[in-house]
Structure 1
Amino acid sequence: MAENKISYKEVLKESEYRKLLISTIINRFGDALDAVGFTWLVYQITHSGTWSAIIFALNILPNVIIQPFTGALVERLEKKKVIVITHFLRGFVLVAFFLIYLMGYANGWIMAGFTFVITTIEAFNMPAGNAFLPRVIKKEHITHGMSLNSTLSSAATLVGTGLAGVIIAAAGLKTIMIIDIITFFVAGVIIFTIKCEQMEENLEVIKSESYITTLKEGVNYIRSKQVLVNCIVIAVFLNMVLVPINALQAPLVSECYNLGSELLSVIGIAGSIGSILGSIMIPAISKKLSMKQTLIIFGMLMGLGVMVIPFGGMITDIVLIKYLFAGLCFTILTFTSSLIVGIFNITFVTNVDPKYLARATSVIVSAATAVMPIASMLVGWAKVRIETGTMITICGIGVIVLLVITMMINPELEPKKEMTNEVKVA
C-alpha cells in the first residue's frame, strides 16, 4: 500500500504543513518557558502555596466550564482566523501583564485574573487547531504528520523547560516573559501565511444555523458515535487514575526516595524523553495494532510502570540506581501514554466528520479535564490516610483493573465502515 511507503521526509515536503509545524514548535517552546517562569513568579510575589494552587485550578477551569461551548462557536468561524486571533490576543494580554509587573502592581489576584483570561482564550484555540490540521496536510500523511507534530512539540517542551531555569538565573524573569510574548506573535504570523487550499465545507450552512442548533448537532453527533463515547469514557478514567502521579511527585521524591529536587529534574527529563519516543513510534505501531490492541498492550505496560514507581526507594540506597529506576518508570509512563493518546488522536481526527471536529474536540477535552480537579480533591483527602507510595501503587493497579474490565466488556473502539465514509478531508 502507498501508505506503507510514507516517510517523515515526504510529509515535510508539504510546505503549508511545515509552517504549521514550525508555529507549533515555537508556541510549545514559549509555553514551556512560561510554565516554569510563571510558576516561579507566582510564588515569588505571593510567597503562598495557596495562590499556586488557586492559579493551577484557574488553568483548568475554563477547559471545564467554557470549552464545551467554544467548539460550537469555533465551528461557525474560519479556523485559521481563530488560531491567528487567539495567538495575538494571548500576546497582547501578556504584554498588559508585563507592563503591570514592571510597574510593581502584580499580585495574586491580578495573576489569577490574567491566568483565567489566557486559559479562556486557549479554550477557543485548541478546537480550532485540531480542526485546522486536516486542512493543511494530505489525508494519507495525517498519521505521520500528527506523530511528527507531537514528537517535535515534546522536544520543544523539553528544551524550553531545560532552558527556563538557565534564562531565569542569567537574565531574570523579565526575559522569560519577553520571549514568551514574542513566541505568540511569531506563531500567529506564521499561521497567517499558511495557504489553506482545502476550503471549509458547510461553513455557510453552519453560519445560517443558530448557535444552539450548532451546539445540539455536535452533542447529538458524539452521542450517535459509540466509538467516540467509549473513547471519552476510557480517557476520563485513565486521566483520573493518573492524576496522583502529577499531584504527588514532590512527596514521592521525598517520602519514597528520600531525595530532593534533583530527582524531580530527572523525572521531568525522563518523562520528556518517553513522550518523544512514544510519538516517534506512533506510525509504526498504528500500522501493526488496532486502537483496542494498543490500549490493552501499552496500557498494561503503563499500569505496571506506575505500580512499581515507589519501590525504587526500597530496593537500594545507591542514589544513582534510584535515579535510573525512577527515570525508567517515568519514561515507560510517558512513552505508553503518548503512544495511546497519539493513536487515539489520529483515529479521532481521521474518522470524525470535519464539520463536527471542533465541537467534538471541545467535548472530549472538557470531559477529560473535568475529572482532574475532582481527582485532585480525592487525592488530597486520601493523602492524610494513605501513604504516597501506596497511593501511587494503587493507581497503577487501577489502570490494570480498568483495562481488564475493558477487555471483558469489549467496547467498540474502532470506527465502523460507514463512519469512515463520512470523512471528507479533501
Structure 2
Amino acid sequence: MKPFALCYNNFRVYAIGSLITRVGDWMDLVALNWAVLQLTGSAFYLGLISACRLLPVFTMSVPAGALADRYNKRKLLLRLETGYMFFTITLALLLMYSGPFWLFALIVTLRSVFSTMGLTVRNAFIPSLVPPVALASAIALNATFANLSGIVGPALAGFLLTFVEPVSIFRISAITSLAVIGSLFWVRPMATLPEQKCHENTGIMEAINFIRSNSVVKSLLILAIVPMLFGFPYTSMMPIFSKELLKVGPDGLGILLGASGAGALTASASLSWLNVKNNHGKILVVSSIGFGIGLVLFALTRRMELALMAMYGVGLLGQTYRTMSRITLQHAVPDHLIGRVLGIALMDRGFIAIGAIFVGWLASYAGSFVAALFMGLGCALITLIIVLLNRNILRL
C-alpha cells in the first residue's frame, strides 16, 4: 500500500471539499473579529468573542469524541456541518439588521458548539479515509490544507473588507460550507475497528484510565496547555495588534495572518513528506519555545516587513508543534479509543479562550505591546519550566 494519503480517492475528495470550506471559515474568522472591533472598538470584547468561540471546547469535545466512537462519523459530520452553516447564516442576518451584541455573542457560542464537535469528529474520521500506512501523511496533509486555507482565507477577507461589509463575508462562508457537505455525501470510508465491532464500553472513564496509564499521551496533554494558553490567542488579537502596533487596516491584517498561514503551510507540508520517527519530544519543546520567541519579535517590531517575517516564523513553529503533537497522539492511541482521547486532547483549544480573555483585558489596560510581549515570553519561559520539571517530555 502507498504511504501518501492523496493516492486514495476518499481522502482526496474529502480534502478538497474541506479545503474550500476552511477557506470560508478563515474568511469568517477575520470578518467576525473585524466586525466586533467595528461595533465595540474594544480589545476586551475582542477577547470575549474569542472566548465565545472557544469555551465550548471544554464542554463539547469529550461528548463529541464519545459520539464519534459509537456512531457513524460521516453521518455525524453531515449533521454538524449543516448546523454550523445554519448559524453562520443567522450571524449574517443579525449583522444585516443590527442585532444586539449579546445575541450576536450567543449565536457565536451556539455555532461554536457545532464547530467544536465537528473538529473532534473530523480528527477521528481521518483514519477511516486511508490505510494505516498512510495515516501520518493524512494527518499532516489535513493540516497542510487547513493552513493553505489559513493563507487564502485571511488574504481574501482582508481584500474584500476594503470594499464590502463583514456581512458579505458571512454569506460567502455559508456558501462554502456546501463543499464539505457535498464531499461527505461522496466518500465511502474504509471499515475500521469501531465500525466492525461495536464496543459496549464507550464511557469516558475508559479513555481517562488509558491516559493515566500511558506516559506518552499524558506528557503530550501537559505540554499542550502552554502554547494554547499563551501563544495561539494571537489570531484573535491580531486586529487590535495590527491596528495599534503597526498602524494598518483590514488589508494589512489579512497579509499578516496570511504570513503566519504561509509558515504553517510550510511546516505541515514538510511534515507530510518527512517520516519523522524519532525525537518527537525535542521537536515539540523547541517548536513551542520558538513559537514564543516569534511572538516576542513581532511585539518588538514596528516595520511591516519584519512583522511579516516574525509572523511567518510564528506560523511555522506553531504548526510544527500542533502537527507533531497530533501525529504522536494518534499513533499512541488504539482505534476504539481514538474519538474519546482526541476529544480530551482537543479540549486544549479551550485554553485559547481563557488566554484571549486575559490578553484582551491586558491590552485594554496596559496596551497592545505589553500584551503581545506577555504572550511570547509566557509561552517560551513556561514551556522551559515544564520541561525542567518533567524531563520525560524530551524522551517522547
TM-score by length of 2: 0.86
Alignment of 1:267 onto 2:256: yes
- List gaps (5 residues or longer) in structure 1: 314-321, 416-426
Structure 2 residue corresponding to 1:193, chosen from 179, 186, 208: 186
User: Partner residue of 1:59?
Assistant: 53
Amino acid at match of 2:349: T
1:324 aligned partner: 305
Deviates more, 1:263-272 or 1:339-348: 263-272
Match of 2:300 in 1: 311
SS in 1 for 2:187: coil
The residue that corresponds to 1:410 in the other structure is 391
- Asked whether 1:356 is paired with 2:337, we answer yes
Q: Does 1:128 align with 2:121?
A: yes
Partner of 1:182: 175
Report the 3-state secondary structure (helix = DSSP H, G, I; strand = E; otherwise coil) of the residue aligned with 2:194: coil
Which residue number in structure 1 is paired with residue 230 of structure 2?
Answer: 241
Among 136, 144, 160, the alignment partner of 1:143 is 136
| Contact 2:233/2:352, CA 8 A, preserved across alignment | no
- Counterpart contact for 1:76–1:203, Cα < 8 Å: no
Residue in structure 1 matched with residue 9 of structure 2 by the alignment: 15
**Percent of aligned positions with the same letter in both sequences?**
19
RMSD value, Cα = 3.2
Match of 1:418 in 2: none
**Stretch deviating more after TM superposition (10-19 or 297-306):** 297-306
Q: Aligned equivalents of 1:144 and 1:372: distance in 2?
A: 27
Deviation at 1:374, TM superposition (A): 3.4
Verify the 8 A CA contact 2:137 2:273 in the aligned structure 1: no
Q: Structure 2, unaligned stretches of length 5 or more? A: none
Q: Is the 8 A contact 1:244 1:392 kept in 2?
A: no
Output the CA distance in 2 between the equivalents of 1:339 and 1:240.
17
> Which of structures 1 and 2 has the larger relative contact order (alpha carbons within 8 angstroms, sep 6+)?
2
Deviations 1:381-412 (A, max 9, x none): 65578665455445444444344441563225
Q: Secondary structure at the match of 2:68?
A: helix
Matched letter for residue 336 of structure 1: L
Match of 1:372?
352
- Aligned AA (1:87): E
Query: 1:40: how far off?
Result: 4.1
What residue in structure 1 maps to residue 204 of structure 2?
215
The structural deviation recorded for 1:352 is 1.0
**C-alpha contact 1:143 1:283 (8 A) present in aligned 2:** yes
Q: Secondary structure at the match of 1:201?
A: helix
Relative to structure 1, is the Cα distance of residues 92 and 247 closer, same or farther in structure 2, using a 3 angstrom cutoff?
A: closer
Matched positions, count: 393
Amino acid in structure 1 at the alignment position of 2:22: R
Alignment of 1:380-391 (within 5 A): 382-383=362-363, 388-389=368-369
Match of 1:225 in 2: 214
Q: Give the counterpart letter for 1:270 in structure 2.
A: A
2:76 to 82, 100, 112: 82
8 Å contact kept, 1:20–1:191: yes
Deviations 1:223-257 (A, max 9, x none): 22221111111110222232564565456556655
Letter in structure 2 aligned against 1:132: F
Pairwise mapping of residues 84-123 of structure 1 onto structure 2 (< 5 A)? 84-96=78-90, 98=92, 104=97, 106-123=99-116
Q: 2:325 aligns with which of 324, 344, 348?
A: 344
